[in-house]
Structure 1
């Protein structure tokens, strides 16, 4: 995590705190983590040691996660982290997924390519149904019906990223069971022209070169009234996986283009209008590869002369062109805020349109999976702004989400260059949601505070099969092609905090999470009905409750911070993919049902030290044990198995040092970060897999002036080649794991005006 450092003589700011590893974590990674800290300590200069420590304090980090104005993280009585956008740029991070993975108990798995990731926080994870983590781009909830992945956006020119750990069912609603991620972009600034740009090149060991160009400009248009901010970025990464069967090298190259525009209008002291638009295009391929960074997928060819039954006649290599995945989205948002005497009225309206072409050509036959989403969101809320002991926020929320998804399969005939394509499935999904919510905070005195929150939520879901073959076949089994179901839920939060002095906070947080049920796909209903297997048309909702005890402490005039949090969660009616075998065809039948439960316990412990001028040392981590509470033979799960895609331990350590190179304002900067993630298990279609545990060491060394900087960068310096994720659904079919990019060395420069 990142902390903003500010030179200041007297202000005592409450600061961002972080989490660290447990004793078990230290046993696993203590040697490497200790090496990082030792290298940082060796960078101390005698001059730095002699400087006056009181001249440096930690700048206060402000968040808006509680939707009731801005608040210091130290005064927020639940687990939340905030990563400053400027610090992300200083560290050269070009991926939101990489940024949030530095938070304790947070990890991601690339799903389907195209820059899409499935997130998990604190052991709440799923590869089926809606996401278990709420994901917001500014005020836009990035929601997709029945899909758990979110876009991996470029974090250039962000204000900050907030990561809320634990269920957020009251303020953020469904699909925030594990927590919520808020990606907040920079706001336009009145009466101030600003331009900044960043460019870099890098080379991956044994492979090709990559480059990036990014820029942002702030334009004052009307004094004190109107301003705009424009951002553009492009990141091109060379691949590092070869296709030996086709002779193509580095097939998994990627291109990420992003454009943003924001307009700020303040015609008076009480009214604010903001308009924003965001366009993103990602074209890439999942880095499937073996230990040699090679992948050898094959299509099966059939003999066209063997009709009516087609017999296998050979195989054809899959080319790099057939392994591409693309994701493109456009986001539009309008927010209006009006301040009355003691109440603020806030409205946010957003539209999300996305198109995806997901990678599905690795399983022996050609397949195309285009997905289109269109989501309209509206939230309206009131919040108190006075100085009363009672503060509150209340609002209403509406969402209309639509999705169209096709599966087109291709039959490859020997001697015929192009496949014979046919639509195997054509589906349309819709979710109409509305909710009312509110939270109240009451301060009994300067030390004790009580928070009560609740949310009532309704969700009407529809699923309709549109292709004629599926419609007619469903009718034979008495199943409607258009199916619908309604879900509703009340979620609550109770929080008690105790602040005996300005340097300590203790809290108890009890919160509920909720995830809507999902529709069974028509093809799953057909295969289950044909085998006389009872599969529900819709799964039921899931429920989760979390109990958390935590403390945030500051010592040595805010130069040392400590945070400890322990939590327990109970997760019921988990939506799980079950697999059985058709006794006639001997083919697997997969369908979703609410079976199983899980319990989780975890510990977050964090330390940050900034007692020596110019030096920041941080350690963050999480130990988590979230296990299934019963055996599920049809899901290949035993009692006590770790929940799918959940690492038991995540750990990171970092050291940053800044020193003066000259009296003219030229500074030297050094940053080193180490990150460790345990292996992640997966159980699907009767198979079990587990990814490798892996560790990444990155470093940056540079020179910075008032208006420019130059850095030498190094990523994955130990050349770790571990399996980031190995999916049980594809590994038995010969699909290897996702691989980490090998050692990459680069040079980048920035300019500010």
Structure 2
């Protein structure tokens, strides 16, 4: 591996930090006091294991990022704070709301559904079906109204069920304040290198105790605009990919007694992008056709995603246990416009008998998902007991439609009537899941405890496909199928406390991603089975130097059975099980307060992946790497707090992240390619005086035009026509002002 100057700097910083602490995670909340000192405060409590536990006590790899820290990154997407999360890789889809998550080498780029579960508080969001594009349409949740973000690595199938093979991302939202009125507000400006107009953001929240200590309500909202920076050389248009994001949240908390806690919330979120942050590459060299910020798409490729989410969480202490009910309903609509001219445009003169020259093909893909979930669980209430337990049941009812519509235009942009629609496809699917689970923790001695869990799940699915249009009208009115599966997942985790501040643990856990029915066509498997994962992990975590140093590390191996892979032929696509794979890895992280004002944080992960069997439909052979999983992910952050004057305090923060090269496959031509490694540098600063705060940031300071995704388009005749790459947002500089009351 050849290192650039910036890469060499990262590894030098890594070596320096590692000499202080080999392994760690940020396990302390922190702030800057009036003297500019970074204060070590209370231990962070996380809830990702279904009970509140300090991050250094739970025997699983977990990272927690506080809401203030998220805001300080000036994030508009989860990609903006990935540097803080060991083992997390993101494949960008071109806009916020389009991203594929990978944790510990378990890539959602393989197969149809997501491999990393996403929760808001106690309820899941996103689809469990293989027909809803769940692997790429992940949630980007704005950080202004978030208490913290929890990322749990390794399969969480016992407590969270389907689609948590790689791990879990959990957004914990802020509850209303029941004692006093709280108000916050802010606004900011940002400039993107190569972009047009300035971007901006505004946000605000208010929390009011309607009945002191008993009933409270909060309302928050935001809107942000990110200017476009991609030019289209074919159409002669500049800055085409402007993005607008907005959302609001209403929350109500009611404590009718000391034993009952009721929380009701509603969220609406909208992403509206004029075009994608993608560029054209030469199909042979993979170099930009024009430059690093230019595309040659014939047509606009807009993206719009709207989510409505409501949740009701009730906790009632009944003495021996807490009875928890979590209910949610969500509706998500995603509309994605895709330029299919390069792939299908050559068919226009063929089907028009030469009357119409090669024209434009527009592909409209609209996905709607309605999801209802209900979970009931009992959690033993005595946190000091030698025997603690959880018993729960879960149900979800999900319906989805995936509408795909192809239209043909002549070179002037006029619809060719006798060719339209070229294809009109509607995929209807339903997914119902039932599950019961249990989890127990036994303290055998003051130092040794054992946690074990078991979950039984059953899912029933129905799939119907309606085809019409020039290409598919001969298929008939409807076809489809049904499937039913029963899955058992389990977990065993012994933990041994070496000292008051240091412990080791081992963990064996399993997870799965649901399968489902395939389209009913001769020669295609009637259904794809769930793929499953067995994970083996040993870890160490703790703190030293009077809490100034925290450390965490883990060695793991994932045995992945029956991988779901995509296959295609005759104009149809489907899923099949493509053999086994193995992932081996190491995660290390550290956080140390070098002085009261200066803190260093570091994380690194090494992940070795390989297919154990050939996967012909994917174009992979045994020994190949799993696509879009870098071997190395490294991040380092330095924070410095200081006193200014006139009551002002300040802080500065700098972070670097290295992402190793990644492999991807091109099954249409039986080839694979490598996406280059890259390094990013971010700088941030802030100044506070009482209720006022001013923040400045420079993300991607070196203006690295890194590729977060690559693909090669092959036309209908099997000829490579052009490559595409999603570009990391260029250098973005901004300022924001906030006020809190």
Q: TM-score, normalised by structure 1?
A: 0.86
Q: Which moved more, 1:423-432 or 1:348-357?
A: 423-432
Asked if 2 retains the 8 angstrom alpha-carbon contact of 1:692 and 1:725, the reply is no
**Which residue of structure 2 lines up, in the alignment, with residue 180 of structure 1?**
168
- Is 1:266 aligned to 2:255, yes or no? yes
Q: Residue 604 of structure 2 aligns with which residue? A: 621
Could you say which residue in structure 2 is the equivalent of 1:328?
A: 306
Partner of 1:42: none
**Cα distance, 1:671–1:120 mapped onto 2, change above 3 Å:** same
**Structure 1 residues 415 and 657 mapped into 2: Cα distance closer, same or farther (>3 Å)?**
closer
CA separation in 2, counterparts of 1:495 and 1:24? 40
Matches within 5 A, 1:238-317: 238-284=227-273, 285-290=275-280, 291=288, 292-297=291-296, 317=298
The 5-angstrom pairing of residues 371-450 of structure 1 reads: 371-386=367-382, 387-414=384-411, 417-418=414-415, 420=417, 421-422=420-421, 423-450=423-450
Q: Which residue of 2 aligns with 1:312?
A: none
Deviations 1:153-173 (A, max 9, x none): 211121100000000010000
**Counterpart among 49, 63, 67 of residue 85 in structure 1:** 67
- Whole-Å separation in 2 of the counterparts to 1:162 and 1:86: 14
Mapped to 2, the partners of 1:751 and 1:162 lie a distance apart of 27
> Over residues 401-430 of structure 1, what are the superposed CA-to-partner deviations in whole Å (9 max), with x where a residue is unaligned?
110111111011355624544252111011
Do 1:84 and 1:159's aligned partners in 2 also have CA atoms closer than 8 Å? yes
Instruction: Map 1:573-652 to 2 at 5 A.
Output: 573-579=562-568, 590-652=573-635
Match of 1:148 in 2: 135
Q: Partner of 2:356 in structure 1?
A: none
56, 59, 63: which one pairs with 2:46? 63
Structure 1 partner of 2:525? 536
Q: Do 1:33 and 1:652's aligned partners in 2 also have CA atoms closer than 8 Å?
A: no
Instruction: Provide closer, same or farther for how the CA distance between residues 100 and 415 of structure 1 changes in structure 2, counting only shifts above 3 A.
Output: closer
**Structure 1 residue aligned with 2:31:** none
Q: 1:722 aligns with which of 689, 706, 709?
A: 706
Aligned to 1:236: 225
Contact 2:566 2:618 in 1 (8 A): yes
1:65 aligned counterpart, secondary structure: coil
What does residue 358 of structure 1 align with?
A: 336
**1:716 Cα deviation (Å)?**
0.8
- After superposition, the Cα gap between the structure-2 partners of 1:707 and 1:444, relative to the gap in structure 1 and judged at 3 Å, is same
- TM-score w.r.t. structure 2 length? 0.87
2:148 equivalent among 155, 160, 172: 160
Distance 1:635 1:569 in 2: 20
Contact 1:129 1:518 in 2 (8 A): no
| Shift of residue 495, structure 1, vs aligned partner | 0.3
Instruction: Output the CA distance in 2 between the equivalents of 1:749 and 1:79.
Output: 35
Deviation at 1:362, TM superposition (A): 4.4
Displacement after TM superposition at 1:635 (Å): 2.0
The alpha-carbon distance between structure 1 residues 406 and 52, as it changes in their structure 2 partners (threshold 3 A), is: closer
Cα distance change of structure 1 residues 97 and 54 upon mapping to structure 2, 3 Å threshold:
closer
Aligned pair 1:683/2:683, yes or no? no
Q: Given that residues 37 and 617 in structure 1 are in contact (C-alpha distance below 8 angstroms), is that contact kept between their aligned partners in structure 2?
A: no
Shift of 1:572: 0.6
Q: In structure 2, what is the Cα distance between the partners aligned to 1:294 and 1:89?
A: 28
Mapped contact 1:689–1:728 kept (Cα < 8 A): no
Number of residue-to-residue matches in the alignment? 680
The root-mean-square deviation of aligned C-alpha atoms, in Å, is 2.7
SS of 1:642's equivalent in the other structure is coil
Distance 1:25 1:507, change over 3 A: farther
- Distance in 1, matches of 2:593 and 2:627, equals 38
* Equivalence for 2:214: 225
Checking the alignment, whether the CA contact within 8 Å between 1:109 and 1:118 is kept in structure 2 is yes
Q: Residues 389 and 443 of structure 1 are in contact (CA less than 8 Å); yes or no, is this contact kept in structure 2?
A: yes
> Shift of residue 682 of structure 1?
1.6
Secondary structure of 2:617's partner?
helix
Aligned to 1:16: none
- Report how far residue 697 of structure 1 moved: 0.5
- Structure 1 window deviating more from structure 2 (412-421 vs 614-623): it is 412-421
CA contact (8 A) 1:676 1:696 kept: yes
Q: What do residues 62-96 of structure 1 show as CA deviations (whole Å, max 9, x unaligned)? A: 1011112x110000111011001111113322323
